[in-house]
Amino acid sequence: MEAYAVVQTGGKQYRVQAGDVLEVERLDGDVGAKVTLSSVMAMSNGSELVVGAPEIDGAAVVAEILEQFRGKKVVAFKKKKRKGYHRKVGHRQELTKLKVEAING
């Protein structure tokens, strides 16, 4: 079994391995830049599991920014019957696509 880590970013947790591509809430940086995710909750080297309380000191995941983009549009629609009232609001979340390069720690 390969090494993996559980990292937290944007209020969500992701289980990642080296080479994984994932979409997370927007992170600052240009395409091609390296990002260090230092909020590692748990990690495994294949045989041993280390769980942080709540994070593991000195552990980090290094990733490369592949793309900055916006997600699909989410539409919220309100209506009150027989009153002529309706309201439509749209939202597109800013996202970042990352490729995990290394798990350190």
Specify whether the CB–CB gap between 3 and 18 falls below 8 A: yes
The mean per-residue pLDDT over the stretch 83-98 comes to: 98
Domains in the chain: boundaries? 4-104
* Per-residue model confidence (pLDDT) at position 39: 95
Instruction: Identify the band that residue 98 occupies on the pLDDT scale cut at 50, 70 and 90.
Output: very high
Instruction: Identify the band that residue 56 occupies on the pLDDT scale cut at 50, 70 and 90.
Output: very high
Mean pLDDT of the chain: 95
Instruction: Identify the band that residue 2 occupies on the pLDDT scale cut at 50, 70 and 90.
Output: confident
